Structure 1
Amino acid sequence: MRTLLLVLLLFAPALQAEPLANRLRHHPSPYLALHGTDPTAWQEWNAETVARARRENKLLFVSLGYFSCHWCHVMQKESYRDPEIAAFLNAHFIPVKVDRELDPALDAQLQAFAEATRGQSGWPLNVFITPEGYPLFALLYAPPAEFLQAVQRLAARWDEEGPQLARLAREAALPPPPPLTVEARFAPAIGVLYQQRLVEEALAHADVLQGGFGKVSKFPHAPQLAALLAIEGRKPNPRLAEFLRLSLDQMARLGLRDHVAGGFFRYTVDPDWHTPHFEKMLYDNAQLAAVYLDASRLLARPEYRDIAYETLDFMLENLRDVSGGFVTSTSAVDEAGREGGVYLWDKAELARLLDAADYSLVERIWGLGEPPSFELGYLPMARIVPTAAETARLRAIHARLKAERARRGLLRDEKLLAGLNGLALAALARAAQDEPRYRPAARAVRDFLVQRLMTDQGLRKGIASGQVLGPADLEDYAYVAEGLLAYALLDESLGDRERARTLVTRAWDLFHGPHGWTLDTQPLLARPYYQRIVPDGATPAPAAVLIRTSWRLGGKPLRTRALRALNVGYEILDQGVFWYATQVAAMGEIQ
Structure 2
Amino acid sequence: MRIKKIFFLVITLLISFINFSQNRMNSLSNEKSLYLKQHSTNPVDWMPWNQNVLRLASNENKLLIISIGYSSCHWCHVMEEETFSNEDAAKIMNSNFINIKVDREERPDIDELYMKSLVLMTGSGGWPMNIIALPDGSPIWGGTYLPKENWINVLTQINELFTNRYDDVLDYSRKLKEGLNPKTIIKNDFKESELLTQIKDASNVAYESLDKENGGLRSSQKFHLPSMIDFFLKSGYHFKEKKYLDFVDLTLKNIAYGGINDHIEGGFHRYTVDSIWHIPHFEKMLYDNAQMLSLYSKAYKRSNKEVFKNQIDNIFNFLESNLTNQDGLIFSSISAVTEIGSEKIEGDYYVWDKQKIRDLLSKDFDLFQDYFNINGKGLWEKNKYVLKRENDDEYFTKKFNISQKKLETKISQSINILRTSRKNREKPITDKKILTSWNALTIIGLSDAYKSTGDKKYIEKAKNIIEAIEKSLLNDDLILKRSLSISNEGIFFLEDYSYLISAYINLYQSTFDYTYIDKAEDLTKKTLLLFKADNSSFLKFSSDQSLLFSDNLFVNQDAVMPSANSVMCKNLFLLSHYTGNRNLSETGKSMLTEISNEMINNSLDYMNWMNVALDYNDSFYEVVISGKKSFEMAQKITEMYLPNILIAASKTDSDKYLLKNRYIKGDNLIYVCVNNTCKFPVNDVKKALELITTKDE
Equivalent residue for 1:459, pick from 480, 485, 495 = 480
- The CA deviation at 1:376 is 6.9
Q: 1:215 to 1:564 in 2, by over 3 A?
A: closer
Corresponding residue for residue 173 of structure 1 = 177
3-state SS in 2 of match to 1:547: helix
Corresponding residue for residue 526 of structure 1 = 549
Corresponding residue for residue 130 of structure 2 = 126
- The CA deviation at 1:526 is 2.2
Task: Please say if 1:398 is aligned against 2:415.
Answer: yes
Task: Please say if 1:558 is aligned against 2:584.
Answer: yes
Give the alignment of 1:421-440 within 5 angstroms: 421-433=439-451, 434-440=454-460
Query: Following the alignment from structure 2 to structure 1, what is the Cα–Cα distance between the partners of residues 300 and 235?
Result: 15
Task: Please say if 1:508 is aligned against 2:512.
Answer: no
Corresponding residue for residue 588 of structure 1 = 614
Give the alignment of 1:70-85 within 5 angstroms: 70-85=74-89
Task: Please say if 1:305 is aligned against 2:309.
Answer: yes
Task: Please say if 1:494 is aligned against 2:518.
Answer: no
Cα displacement string for residues 478-518 of structure 1 (whole angstroms, at most 9, x for unaligned residues): 11111111112222222221221222222222223224442
Task: Please say if 1:479 is aligned against 2:486.
Answer: no
Q: 1:219 to 1:180 in 2, by over 3 A?
A: closer
Task: Please say if 1:194 is aligned against 2:194.
Answer: no
Task: Please say if 1:366 is aligned against 2:351.
Answer: no
- The CA deviation at 1:138 is 0.8
Q: TM-score, normalised by structure 2?
A: 0.77
Q: Which structure would you say has the larger Rg?
A: 2
3-state SS in 2 of match to 1:205: coil
Cα displacement string for residues 264-318 of structure 1 (whole angstroms, at most 9, x for unaligned residues): 1100001111110111100000000111111112245243122122112211111
3-state SS in 2 of match to 1:536: coil
Q: Unpaired segments of 5 or more residues in structure 1?
A: 1-19
User: Aligned letter for 1:547?
Assistant: C
- The CA deviation at 1:83 is 0.8
Q: Which has the higher contact order (CA 8 A, sep 6+)?
A: 1
Corresponding residue for residue 548 of structure 1 = 570
Task: Please say if 1:216 is aligned against 2:220.
Answer: yes
Corresponding residue for residue 384 of structure 2 = 377
Question: Please, what is the CA RMSD of the aligned residues?
Answer: 2.4
3-state SS in 1 of match to 2:336: strand
Query: Following the alignment from structure 2 to structure 1, what is the Cα–Cα distance between the partners of residues 519 and 204?
Result: 38
Q: TM-score, normalised by structure 1?
A: 0.91
Corresponding residue for residue 646 of structure 2 = none
3-state SS in 1 of match to 2:28: coil
3-state SS in 2 of match to 1:24: helix
Give the alignment of 1:84-233 within 5 angstroms: 84-174=88-178, 177=182, 187=192, 189-197=194-202, 199-233=203-237
- The CA deviation at 1:330 is 0.7
3-state SS in 1 of match to 2:345: coil
3-state SS in 1 of match to 2:98: strand
Q: 1:355 to 1:470 in 2, by over 3 A?
A: farther
**More displaced stretch, 429-438 vs 251-260:** 429-438
Query: Following the alignment from structure 2 to structure 1, what is the Cα–Cα distance between the partners of residues 197 and 472?
Result: 41
Query: Following the alignment from structure 2 to structure 1, what is the Cα–Cα distance between the partners of residues 387 and 168?
Result: 56
3-state SS in 2 of match to 1:138: strand
- The CA deviation at 1:262 is 0.9
- The CA deviation at 1:321 is 0.6
3-state SS in 1 of match to 2:385: coil
Query: Following the alignment from structure 1 to structure 2, what is the Cα–Cα distance between the partners of residues 392 and 212?
Result: 31
Query: Following the alignment from structure 2 to structure 1, what is the Cα–Cα distance between the partners of residues 408 and 193?
Result: 46
Identity of aligned residues (%): 25
- The CA deviation at 1:558 is 1.7
3-state SS in 2 of match to 1:154: helix
Task: Please say if 1:260 is aligned against 2:278.
Answer: no
- Contact residue 25 and residue 41 of structure 2 kept, 8 A: no
- Contact residue 374 and residue 387 of structure 2 kept, 8 A: no
Query: Following the alignment from structure 1 to structure 2, what is the Cα–Cα distance between the partners of residues 461 and 545?
Result: 17
3-state SS in 2 of match to 1:216: coil
- The CA deviation at 1:57 is 0.9
Corresponding residue for residue 661 of structure 2 = none
- The CA deviation at 1:468 is 9.2
3-state SS in 1 of match to 2:484: strand
Corresponding residue for residue 68 of structure 1 = 72
Task: Please say if 1:342 is aligned against 2:365.
Answer: no
Equivalent residue for 1:445, pick from 452, 465, 473 = 465
Query: Following the alignment from structure 1 to structure 2, what is the Cα–Cα distance between the partners of residues 181 and 351?
Result: 63
- The CA deviation at 1:223 is 1.3
- The CA deviation at 1:335 is 3.5
- Contact residue 461 and residue 476 of structure 1 kept, 8 A: yes
- The CA deviation at 1:342 is 1.4
State the number of aligned residues.
567
Q: 1:272 to 1:303 in 2, by over 3 A?
A: closer
Q: 1:252 to 1:544 in 2, by over 3 A?
A: same
**More displaced stretch, 168-177 vs 219-228:** 168-177
- The CA deviation at 1:178 is 8.6
- The CA deviation at 1:457 is 5.1
- The CA deviation at 1:162 is 2.3
- The CA deviation at 1:364 is 2.3
Cα displacement string for residues 511-557 of structure 1 (whole angstroms, at most 9, x for unaligned residues): 232244421122222222344x6001211111100110111111223
Q: Unpaired segments of 5 or more residues in structure 2?
A: 1-23, 398-403, 618-697
Corresponding residue for residue 250 of structure 2 = 246
Query: Following the alignment from structure 2 to structure 1, what is the Cα–Cα distance between the partners of residues 218 and 345?
Result: 27
Query: Following the alignment from structure 1 to structure 2, what is the Cα–Cα distance between the partners of residues 86 and 106?
Result: 23
- The CA deviation at 1:186 is 8.5
**More displaced stretch, 380-389 vs 417-426:** 380-389
3-state SS in 2 of match to 1:173: helix
Give the alignment of 1:410-425 within 5 angstroms: 410-425=428-443
- The CA deviation at 1:254 is 1.3
Cα displacement string for residues 236-278 of structure 1 (whole angstroms, at most 9, x for unaligned residues): 2121122111111111101110111111110000111111011
Cα displacement string for residues 30-84 of structure 1 (whole angstroms, at most 9, x for unaligned residues): 1111111111111111111111111111111111110111111111111111111
Query: Following the alignment from structure 1 to structure 2, what is the Cα–Cα distance between the partners of residues 468 and 96?
Result: 15
Q: 1:186 to 1:406 in 2, by over 3 A?
A: farther
Query: Following the alignment from structure 2 to structure 1, what is the Cα–Cα distance between the partners of residues 80 and 193?
Result: 50
